[in-house]
Structures are given as C-alpha cells and as structure tokens.
C-alpha cells in the first residue's frame, strides 16, 4: 500500500508531538525502529516529562520483515486506556511509523499519529540524516542507546 493511501489520524511534526505529550499524560510515544537503531542512533528521552518512550519494532533487521506481532506487542507495551488514547509513532524518517499508525488504526485506535520526519529526518545533499529535520534537529531531548 502506498503512503498516500494509509489511514491514520495524521502527521505531527516533532515539536507538535512533544506538545501532545506535554498536554496529555495518557499519550504514548512508541519508537518503531529496530533494536539496532535504538542502540546505535539514540532514542527520544521523555524523562523530563516523567515518562519513557516505548519500543516495539515494526520490522526486523536485516531482512526488513514486518513484525507479525506488532499490534499485540503495542497493546501489551502501551496498555492504552481506550481506543481514543493518543498513540504517537516514530521511526527514522516517518515512513515505517506511518505504516504502524495505519495498522493500529485498522484495529480501531482512532488517535494514531505519525511523527513526520521521524527521529533522524530526511537526508541532506550529502545523503546524511540528522541535519535537515526530525526529532534530533528540532532540539528535542534524546539519549544515545
């Protein structure tokens, strides 16, 4: 399915995502990247909000196979209070998290948002990430895994 055909509540910039997390104590941020990315690239740090980012991979490295247990793992990890709970999903660039938001929306969760540009953002003219947009470029808290 093409990105423009996905069904979910919408895209939020990293700053808008942070504002949602600040304003809604029940909202959850789920990083859907691989464990390797969490370890070597870093992760969002929500400790200033008294919370932690949750981690459920959408795909598995190195073959990029879709996690067949993604939705049940999210529901077990996030324990959303209702189907209206804000579930904010982030990946490297906003592609995998869009698919993840769609999958949760298909299961009846109505407030699943994709973090546009993701953690590292789009590549720059030298094909390096982390310089154009994304969580890190927005100056939001993060830690090296």
CATH number of 50's domain: 3.40.250.10
Answer whether residue 145 shows pLDDT above 80: no
Q: Is residue 109 part of a domain?
A: yes
Q: What average pLDDT does the segment 33-61 reach?
A: 96
Residue 70: what are its φ and ψ, rounded to 5°?
Answer: -55, -55
Element at 55 (helix H, strand E): strand 54-55
Answer whether residue 136 shows pLDDT above 80: yes
Element at 112 (helix H, strand E): strand 112-115
Least confident stretch, 2-6, 14-18, 31-35, 90-94: 2-6
Answer whether residue 3 shows pLDDT above 80: no
Q: What average pLDDT does the segment 78-101 reach?
A: 95
- Reported confidence tier of residue 1, pLDDT bands at 50, 70, 90: confident
Scanning the structure block, which residue is given the tokens 């994304």? 134
Other CB atoms within 10 Å distance of the CB of residue 42: 17
Structure confidence at residue 40 (pLDDT) = 94
Q: DSSP letter at 30?
A: E
Q: Is residue 5 part of a domain?
A: no
Q: How many domains does the chain have?
A: 1
Domain that holds residue 99: 12-140
Q: Is residue 2 part of a domain?
A: no
Q: Is residue 145 part of a domain?
A: no
Dist CA 21 CA 11 (whole Å): 14
Q: How confident is the model over 22-40, as pLDDT tens digits?
A: 999 999 999 999 999 999 9
Question: How far from the centroid of its chain's Cα atoms is residue 75's Cα?
Answer: 15
From residue 74, alpha-carbon distances to 2, 32, 57, 131, 136 in Å are 23, 10, 9, 30, 24
Dist CA 104 CA 108 (whole Å): 7
Q: What is the 3-state secondary structure (H, E, C) of 80-95?
A: CCCCCCCEEEECCCCC
- Supply the mean pLDDT for the chain: 95
Least confident stretch, 34-38, 107-111, 124-128, 141-145: 141-145
| Percent of residues, the chain, with pLDDT higher than 70 | 99
Q: Tell me the pTM.
A: 0.95
Residue 115 β-bridge partners: 12
């Amino acid at each position: 399915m093409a990105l423009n055909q996905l069904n979910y509540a919408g895209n939020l910039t990293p700053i808008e995502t942070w504002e949602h997390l600040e304003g809604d104590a029940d909202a959850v941020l789920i990083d859907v990247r691989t464990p390797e990315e969490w370890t070597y690239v870093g992760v969002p740090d929500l400790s200033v909000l008294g919370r932690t980012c949750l981690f459920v991979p959408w795909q598995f490295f190195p073959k990029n196979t879709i996690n067949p247990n993604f939705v049940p793992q999210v529901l077990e990890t996030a324990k959303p209070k209702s189907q209206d709970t804000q579930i904010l999903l982030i990946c490297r660039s906003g592609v995998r998290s869009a698919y993840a938001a769609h999958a949760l929306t298909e299961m009846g969760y109505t407030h699943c948002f994709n973090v546009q540009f993701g953690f590292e953002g789009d590549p720059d003219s030298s094909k390096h990430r982390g310089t154009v947009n994304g969580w890190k470029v927005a100056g939001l808290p993060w830690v090296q895994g």
